[in-house]
């Protein structure tokens, strides 16, 4: 849920967002489905189950997201507090039934290096048919470590094309801190993951229209468009299963072991620097990305409700 370190980058990636202001008769099934969203779903387990359904994506896409979120729970669960978002912020939709979302935000325990982990999905139906689906997992660390954050997004608006954002976003200026570049990006040979995906003929670089996104990603960031073409035999799902999935799982594993769970020695001045840089990144996320796309997707009232709560977590 960020333009930088994870989230639903609708505006940052300038996806073709439909106007969601008018209800459509085509959406009655989903409307029914959403009618109980803000009602009695108070149990944490139930809410988690609803998130993990990823009901609007299927096959390898869904399997990958479930596997990634489960990996986080297994490896980092003891370092995380339960999600304490109100039910109507965990699951919400446009009143007209045109868009739905489910998110889970688990803050790190004070003894951990984790600020919070955010996972979720957005589904938005296009008036002309088709839909935008975004699935996302982000990990933000706190200022007790200078290790990078984690960010994964799969953004799909047509069946034959997918935008993938997968990055360990740096938390320091890599020019002023060349040791940081060396430690996390050069010595680790992180670029091999990007190279692996770029070697596929269906993959091309994706250049975000947001200059801020371009400035914030790491030099090994995977920002790619995967296009199979209507007549091709290779489906997007196959590429997720054979290529995107293995890369995403390896990168998440690396991030959890070497970033989230490896202790770093960070001095007082450096902590202040990290805290300030993190604050700016999270502010930008709320202001530029979510603040711009959520009202369009979910209507102003719902967006206000959700953003008010998320802002507390992002800006604290």
Stretch that binds its own copies, among 135-143, 157-165, 178-186, 297-305 (CB under 8 A): 178-186
Long-range contacts of 262-269 (CB under 8 A, 24+ apart): 262/145, 262/147, 263/113, 263/145, 264/113, 264/144, 264/145, 264/146, 264/147, 266/143, 266/144, 266/145, 266/146
**Between residues 21 and 189, which has the closer beta carbon with respect to its own copies?**
189
- Going by C-beta distance under 8 Å and a sequence separation of 6 or more, which residues neighbour residue 96? 20, 21, 22, 23, 24, 27, 31, 299
Which residue(s) pair with 222 in the sheet? 166
Q: Which of 198, 264, 315, 316 binds its own copies (CB under 8 A)?
A: 198
Question: Least distance (Å) from its own copies to the CB of residue 181?
Answer: 6
Restricting to residues 263-282, name those near its own copies by CB under 8 A: 276-277, 280-281
Residue 142 or 218: which CB sits closer to its own copies?
218
Binding span for its own copies by CB under 8 A among 24-32, 72-80, 81-89, 208-216:
208-216
Stretch that binds its own copies, among 34-42, 172-180, 224-232, 292-300 (CB under 8 A): 172-180
Pair 66, 52: CB distance under 8 Å = yes
Contact of 207 with 223, CB cutoff 8 Å: yes
Nearer to its own copies, 279 or 305 (CB): 279
Sequence-distant (6+) residues with CB within 8 A of 100 are 30, 33, 34, 37, 56, 91, 92, 93, 94, 122, 123, 124
Judged by CB under 8 A, the residue of 109, 192, 214, 264 near its own copies is 214
Q: Looking at 217-267, list the stretches that DSSP marks H as alpha helix, in order from N- to C-terminal side.
A: 236-239, 245-254
Residue from 26, 67, 161, 212 binding its own copies (CB under 8 A): 212
CA 70/CA 232 separation, integer angstroms: 33
| Token pair belonging to 295 | 């009202």
Does residue 232 touch its own copies according to CB under 8 A? no
Residue 59 or residue 205: which is nearer to its own copies going by CB?
A: 205
Q: Which of 132, 181, 197, 303 forms a contact with its own copies (CB under 8 A)?
A: 181
- How many helices, marked H, and strands, marked E, lie in the chain? 12, 8
Give residues 287-306 in contact with its own copies (rule: CB under 8 A). none
CB of 211 to its own copies, least distance (A): 4
End-to-end CA distance of the chain: 16
Least separation in angstroms between residue 164's CB and its own copies is 16
Nearer to its own copies, 190 or 260 (CB): 190
Task: Count residues binding its own copies (CB under 8 A).
Answer: 25
Interface pick for its own copies out of 16, 39, 49, 207 (rule CB under 8 A): 207
> Which chain residues interact with its own copies by CB under 8 A?
173-176, 178, 181, 185-186, 191, 198, 205, 207, 211-212, 214-216, 218-220, 276-277, 280-281, 284
């Amino acid at each position: 849920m960020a333009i930088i370190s994870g989230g639903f980058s609708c505006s940052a990636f300038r996806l073709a967002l439909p106007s969601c202001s008018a209800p459509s008769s085509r959406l009655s099934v989903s409307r029914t489905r959403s009618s109980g969203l803000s009602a009695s779903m108070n149990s944490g387990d139930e809410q988690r189950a609803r998130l993990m359904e990823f009901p609007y994506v299927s096959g390898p896409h869904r399997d990958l997201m479930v596997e990634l979120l489960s990996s986080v729970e297994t490896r980092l669960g003891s370092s995380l507090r339960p999600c304490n978002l109100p039910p109507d912020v965990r699951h919400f939709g446009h009143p007209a039934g045109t868009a739905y979302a489910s998110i889970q935000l688990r803050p790190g325990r004070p003894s951990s290096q984790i600020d919070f982990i955010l996972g979720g999905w957005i589904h938005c139906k296009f008036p002309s048919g088709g839909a935008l689906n975004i699935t996302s997992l982000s990990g933000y660390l706190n200022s007790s470590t200078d290790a990078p954050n984690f960010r994964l997004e799969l953004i799909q608006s047509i069946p034959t094309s997918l935008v993938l954002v997968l990055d360990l976003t740096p938390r320091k200026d890599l020019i002023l801190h060349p040791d940081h570049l060396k430690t996390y990006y050069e010595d680790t040979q992180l670029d091999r993951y990007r190279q692996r995906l770029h070697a596929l003929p269906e993959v091309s670089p994706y250049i975000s229209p947001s200059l801020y996104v371009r400035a914030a990603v790491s030099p090994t960031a995977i920002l790619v468009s995967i296009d199979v073409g209507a007549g091709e035999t290779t489906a997007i799902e196959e590429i997720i299963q054979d290529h995107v999935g293995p890369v995403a799982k390896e990168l998440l594993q690396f991030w959890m072991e070497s970033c989230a769970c490896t202790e770093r020695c960070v001095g007082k001045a450096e902590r202040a620097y990290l805290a300030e840089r993190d604050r700016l990144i999270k502010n930008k996320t709320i202001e530029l990305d979510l603040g711009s796309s959520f009202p369009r997707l979910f209507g102003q009232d719902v967006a206000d409700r959700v953003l008010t709560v998320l802002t507390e977590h992002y800006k604290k």
